Amino acid sequence: MKKLINDPQDVVVESVEGFGLAHADLVQVHRDPLFVARVAGTVPGKVGLVSGGGSGHEPLHAGFVGVGMLDAAVPGAMFTSPTPDQVAPAIAAADGGAGVLTIVKNYTGDVLNFETAAELAEADGVTVRTVLVDDDVAVEDSLYTAGRRGVAGTVAVEKIAGAAAERGDDLDAVAAVAERVVTNVRSMGVALTACTVPHAGRPSFDLPEDEIEVGIGIHGEPGRRRVPMAPADEVTEMLLAPVVEDLGLSGGEQVLLLVNGMGGTPASELYVVYRRARALLAERGVEVTRSLVGNYVTSLEMQGASVTVLRLDDELTALWDAPVHTAALRW
């Protein structure tokens, strides 16, 4: 394992410290417990938005703290959800009196820790609502799983809910629009290589040189199936087809297309995937009206990509277009 880190135990704290120094115009880093909040502090009367989760998915979530998006982000250890005693103070810090929406990726650990944190915060008088993001179509949502996972669609939920909060929607309305994004967003990912969690010291799975993992999550978990390496155009179809099907997209609909890198994939490859996804959507009569291509929800240095589609309507489009000023997303 070769990484630009010092003691593996310190990587999260040192990285968040560096992040805070580099973006001191946007965020402040709180220590003990560790969380990241907007530099300007709470906005009175605005619904607060808090998200968080295991580290290793950067820029998610701290990279999305700022005007028009999150009020606070809570980084856990690598791939490990943060603890309630980190999340609860972040919720308190984000509360401007209008309540707080927590955006939680649907993993047992995240759900349990945020649940406990919400109880703690509510005991302190903060109204908390939670939206669970579960956009990963690789996992069947059935009795036999912990439900679908939250992956790259989280960016869309945070951006759009953030815009709703910023324009002054109340907690119910912000939660409702966030739920609407969750209902209309689906993702699927592929890994060409595994990633190495610093404290584990070896790759999260072993993948032969001529195979890829289809249906991976964002924690270096193995995917649903292993298939022979194939050209990008075919791989893109493997990812996009189940997304489109699960969404029940039909001709004439408008969508946002996000091609997300897992951290170690060159931008040039992401655009090759994007190009093919555009063509496949065009074949189905689906119009891509908004796009995002880059590393947004990553798995350390994993090579691979995910394709996310969000069904848009006028309101979601307007909220997506609303100004945002964070370290990783800005317009």
Ligand X SMILES: Nc1ncnc2c1ncn2[C@@H]1O[C@H](COP(=O)(O)OP(=O)(O)O)[C@@H](O)[C@H]1O
Question: What is the nearest approach in angstroms of its own copies to the Cβ of residue 193?
Answer: 7
Question: Smallest distance from the beta carbon of 149 to other proteins, in angstroms?
Answer: 6
- 231 near its own copies (CB under 8 A): yes
Q: Residue 157: which residues within 8 A CB-CB, separation 6 or more? A: 103, 131, 133, 178, 181, 182, 185
149 is an interface residue for other proteins by CB under 8 A: yes
Q: Is 78 in the site for other proteins (CB under 8 A)?
A: yes
Contact 15, 54 (CB under 8 A): no
Enumerate binding residues for ligand X (CB under 6 A): 80, 108-109
Shorter beta-carbon distance to Mg ion: residue 19 or 79: 79
Q: In which region does residue 248 sit, left (phi positive, over 0), alpha (psi from -120 to 50) or beta (all else)?
A: left
Q: Which is nearer to its own copies, 56 or 223 (CB)?
A: 56
Stretch that binds its own copies, among 115-123, 141-149, 155-163, 301-309 (CB under 8 A): 301-309
Residue 315 Cβ vs other proteins, minimum distance, rounded to whole Å: 32
Q: How far apart are CA 60 and CA 310, in angstroms?
A: 18
DSSP characters for 149-195? PP-THHHHHHHHHHHHHHTT--HHHHHHHHHHHHHHEEEEEEESS--
DSSP secondary structure letters along 309-327:
EEE--HHHHHHHHS--BSS
**Bridge partners for 5 per DSSP:** none
Phi, psi of 14 (to 5 degrees): -65, -40
Q: Whose Cβ is closer to Mg ion: residue 79's or residue 296's? A: 79
Q: Which of residues 158-217 bind its own copies (CB under 8 A)?
A: 192-193, 209-210, 212
Whether 61 is catalytic = no
Contact assessment for residue 275 and residue 231, using Cβ atoms and an 8 Å cutoff: no
Active-site option among 23, 30, 57, 61: 57
Residue 199 appears among annotated catalytic residues: no
130 binds other proteins (CB under 8 A): no
132: its two tokens: 């669970």
> Among all residues, which ones are annotated catalytic?
57, 219
- Contact residues toward other proteins (CB under 8 A) are 9, 33, 54, 76-85, 107-109, 112-113, 115-116, 138-140, 143-146, 149, 197, 199-200, 202, 204-205, 217, 219-222, 224
